[in-house]
Amino acid sequence: MEPDAPNNGRKTPFGKKRAGDRRCVATNDPLPPEAPALRFVQGPAQEVVLDLKGNLPGRGAWLRPERDKLMLALKRGGFARGFKGEAKLPEGLDADGFADHVAERLQHAALQKLGLARKAGSLKIGHDAVRKAAKSGLAYLTPTDASAPEVEKLARFLAKAEGVPHVPLPADRVTLSGPLDQDAVHLLLVLGGPSRGVLESIEIWRRFSSESRA
């Protein structure tokens, strides 16, 4: 799995805010309130449902946001233990299909938030715009098919000048162009507005997407 983005003091802990420690239903490891995690609940037909907003009713089952942990929880009955009841896969999905479904939902949520950040003026797009807004930068984002030399050069500038971390996105330019309404290679989340929530969503998406398929 890729290392976490550097913490330069501009970033708050990410993940759902929980009142106390929970345990991962795959490993039984503690999940402190500040740790990144995904919440699942039991649906009307006893199916496992991803609760992205953390507000669905019912007993929650918490999971480290990694694909292999999801597969492990499904294999070992972790969700049934977490719900203290039956836990079925949604109709028509096997374990891999459900993991793909979760990955798609995480991607959609992160890209939707990126689009909202652009509309709010919290996302700068383009090489020159990124350099110009460096002093207020929170995270430098790039798609998978960005030019490596250009990215490396701009990432060095941002890190050296303002301590802004580079956070590669697990999506290409075409995937990003839809929610952003334009071609995007160099993106900068700036401090303020919805940016910290956007970065939290991106980090969880990255963690889950970086896991190889089981």
Alpha carbons 154 and 133: distance in angstroms, whole number? 12
Query: For the chain, what is the mean pLDDT?
Result: 89
The percentage of residues in the chain with a pLDDT greater than 70, rounded to a whole number, is: 89
Q: What average pLDDT does this structure show over 86-104?
A: 96
In this prediction, residue 15 carries a pLDDT of 42
Taken as a whole, the chain contains a residue count of 214
2 band by pLDDT with thresholds 50, 70 and 90: very low
**Long-range CB pairs of 130-134, under 8 A, 24+ apart, other chains included:** 130/154, 130/158, 130/186, 130/187, 130/188, 131/157, 133/188, 133/190, 134/158, 134/161, 134/162, 134/164, 134/188
76 band by pLDDT with thresholds 50, 70 and 90: very high
20 band by pLDDT with thresholds 50, 70 and 90: low
33 band by pLDDT with thresholds 50, 70 and 90: confident
In this prediction, residue 21 carries a pLDDT of 72
Question: What stretch(es) of the chain map to CATH 3.30.1230.10?
Answer: 22-101
Model confidence, pTM:
0.87
**Among the ranges given (12-16, 30-34, 143-147, 192-196), the one the predictor scored with the smallest mean pLDDT:** 12-16
Question: What stretch(es) of the chain map to CATH 3.30.1330.30?
Answer: 113-209
In this prediction, residue 137 carries a pLDDT of 97
Q: What average pLDDT does this structure show over 23-51?
A: 94
Alpha carbons 107 and 134: distance in angstroms, whole number? 26
For domain 113-209, is the CATH number 3.40.50.1100?
Answer: no
Q: Torsion-angle region of residue 58: left (phi > 0), alpha (psi -120 to 50) or beta?
A: left
For domain 22-101, is the CATH number 2.40.128.20?
Answer: no
19 band by pLDDT with thresholds 50, 70 and 90: low
Residue 175 has pLDDT above 50, yes or no: yes
Q: What average pLDDT does this structure show over 108-134?
A: 97
Residue 213 has pLDDT above 50, yes or no: no
The two tokens of residue 105 are 């939902």
CB-based contact 167:115 (threshold 8 Å): no
